[in-house]
């Protein structure tokens, strides 16, 4: 019997999918509020997302990392871009053998005919976003110099084995809600 079960820790299982945006932030805020009211101590969350907005991902990282609930994150398919930062909020992290991760630098599209001062504002915002996300990556993950070099200029893809070596995941393990257990979509 696991230590959690022996101590009677109340666990629940959730799925979280889609774009990382203000709608997801709202859904997560509501879900955590309900978890707190329900006395959930450990929330197992299967994340499936190709990313979205940096500020929303950072908000979710900070919110979930500082929540009184222990979050155990799972990747059963793809967690990419800013969704990786969201995923890193888990105190424990797992992925399926066939899962993948992708991280990259921020990007934006300027309006045609943008003036130099407008372009400079966009560039400064991208640099600030990159500094914030890279700070979290460096605290949570140990990439090789070669992987950091790829990340500097391109998309860095990690399979389950690479993710385990880098410390992005604790182990390769599937999301398996217990039979008869509570499963909710956030």
Question: pLDDT tens digit string along 67-122?
Answer: 999 999 999 999 999 999 999 999 999 999 999 999 998 888 878 888 888 878 88
pTM: 0.90
Alpha helices in the chain (DSSP H): 3-7, 22-37, 54-65, 82-87, 116-140, 145-153, 160-166
Per-residue pLDDT reduced to its tens digit, 150-178: 999 999 999 999 999 999 999 999 999 99
């Amino acid at each position: 019997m696991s230590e959690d079960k022996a101590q009677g820790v109340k666990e629940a299982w959730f799925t979280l999918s889609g774009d990382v945006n203000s709608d997801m932030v709202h859904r997560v805020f509501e879900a955590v509020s309900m978890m707190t009211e329900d006395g959930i101590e450990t929330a197992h969350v299967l994340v499936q997302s190709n990313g979205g907005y940096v500020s929303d991902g950072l908000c979710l990282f900070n919110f979930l990392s500082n929540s009184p609930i222990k979050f155990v994150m799972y990747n059963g398919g793809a967690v990419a871009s800013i969704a990786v930062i969201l995923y890193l909020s888990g105190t424990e992290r797992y992925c399926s053998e066939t899962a993948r991760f992708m991280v990259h630098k921020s990007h934006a599209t300027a309006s045609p005919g943008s003036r130099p001062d407008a372009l400079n504002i966009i560039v400064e915002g991208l640099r600030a976003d990159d500094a914030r996300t890279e700070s979290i990556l460096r605290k949570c993950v140990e990439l090789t110099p070669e992987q950091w070099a790829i990340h500097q200029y391109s998309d860095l893809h990690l399979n389950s084995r690479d993710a385990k070596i880098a410390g992005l995941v604790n182990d390769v393990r599937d999301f398996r809600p217990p039979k008869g257990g509570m499963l909710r979509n956030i």
